[in-house]
Structure 1
């Protein structure tokens, strides 16, 4: 079992989870749903990554992280969480 570092952000009434190790995202109505969707995306990605030769994976670049954290959403307050997720 591996763990991943995840940033959660509330945006337009939904929660978005971003994995720092690979840049994958998940979305849900609650933080838990967003994390569950992210876990599904990670599992799907790992299946392809293991079976294909030309699949690239890398940690998210600091510029992309900055963009994720600074997207303006006038309808919601700025809410962020940082978690470790096991998948």
Structure 2
């Protein structure tokens, strides 16, 4: 089992979960929904990443994280 780091943020009435290791996101009405959708996105991405040879994978940069976490 792999472990991933995620950041949760509420935006416009929804929760958004961002995976720091690969930049994938999940969105839901609750935190649990957002995390579940993020897990589904990670599973789908990993399946494609293992079968395709031209898929780019990179962690989220500090600048992108700052932009994601910035509240207006």
TMscore range, shorter length:
over 0.9
Residue 25 (str. 1) matches residue 44 (str. 2): no
1:2-22 CA-to-partner distances (Å, cap 9, x unmatched) read 110000001111000000000
Structure 1 alignment gaps of length 5 or more: 73-87
Name the count of aligned residue pairs. Answer: 72
Matches of 1:53 and 1:62, distance apart in 2: 27
Report the counterpart of residue 84 of structure 1 in structure 2. Answer: none
Runs ≥4 in structure 1, deviation > 3 angstroms? Answer: none
TM value normalised by structure 1: 0.80
Report the counterpart of residue 65 of structure 2 in structure 1. Answer: 65
More strand by share: 1
**What is the RMSD of the two structures over their aligned residues, measured on CA atoms?**
0.7
Matches of 1:55 and 1:47, distance apart in 2: 11
Higher CA-based Rg: 1
